[in-house]
Amino acid sequence: MKKQEAAWWGTFKLEEQNARFWEIGPMLLGIERLAKEWRLASYSSEDLEKNTIKIAQEDCPDFPKDKLQFRRYVFHHTDPTIILTPTLADRSQVSRAETSFSIPPDEHITIYVSSPVWVRIETGSGILLDEIPSIRQSDTWHGPNTREGELCYSSRTFCRTNIEELPIRQHRVLTPVVIHNHHYTPLLIEQLSLPLSHLSIFADENGGLWTEEIVIKNELHNNHIVKQSKGAPHMAKNAILISKPRFPLKPMNFISLFYSLLTE
């Protein structure tokens, strides 16, 4: 895994009447500070492969003006600092494998599933301005039928198994998913539901973003046991916590919540 550019998140100082621009993968973000208001402009490109990370003070990126989304936040007096934090989506994400695969009995594998970051924008005094997804994802439904289940975001994944093949993308967060098949029949994996709102984000020494590791055990009688590891996964070297989960889960709740995390 190669080292990435400088991180796009952190605390930034902005003088009055000044603006700053971020290119975070497919997302363009502009923030302008006026005496009494903050102005935000954002755009999400359809080019999902775009992997640029850039922060510019004067060179305004080429914003497609007709597709820009503008927002204004009015204050008595604006704070000179702005804080950008990567965060995860507010719903779970169903990642469909580009090609489904089987895990033979008594085998275990680790697959890496990525999710797009959301950008959390706060003032220096801690007032939340907005949370903007770096890409807009399609909705999908995850549940046993159309009455029970939850509304999720949809994503496609290559389900890579080799860590060396993973590109470092600061606009996507990697989740290692360890799957143990303790059943006597092969386990077919077509899609995985990641509980993003319960996961944290860690940044490793190369600038890569990670969540906690998730362990799924497919037991006899098709019982699925799901566990979430504590802290950063071991493959994220010298990782530091940069974003806490939206809704931390108690260990007991975690197991009951993910009854349908894995779809055969």
Q: What does the binding site for other proteins look like in residue numbers (CB under 8 A)?
A: 94, 96, 136-142, 146-147, 149, 151, 154
Q: Give the chain's radius of gyration (CA, Å).
A: 20
Task: Quickly count: other Cβ atoms within 10 Å of residue 84's Cβ.
Answer: 20
Residue with tokens 């936040």: 73
Beta carbon nearer to other proteins, 49 or 62: 49
Beta carbon nearer to other proteins, 17 or 99: 99
- 159 to each of 60, 141, 190, 227, 238, how far by Cα in Å? 36, 20, 10, 19, 24
| Size (the chain), residues | 264
Q: What values do phi and psi take at 143, rounded to 5?
A: 175, 170
Closest contact distance (angstroms) between CB of 141 and other proteins is: 5
- 87 to each of 84, 90, 209, 210, 230, how far by Cα in Å? 10, 9, 10, 11, 18
20 within 8 A of 55, measured Cβ to Cβ: yes
Beta carbon nearer to other proteins, 44 or 243: 44
Beta carbon nearer to other proteins, 3 or 147: 147
Closest contact distance (angstroms) between CB of 90 and other proteins is: 13
Closest contact distance (angstroms) between CB of 140 and other proteins is: 4
Beta carbon nearer to other proteins, 140 or 200: 140
Closest contact distance (angstroms) between CB of 147 and other proteins is: 6
Closest contact distance (angstroms) between CB of 190 and other proteins is: 10
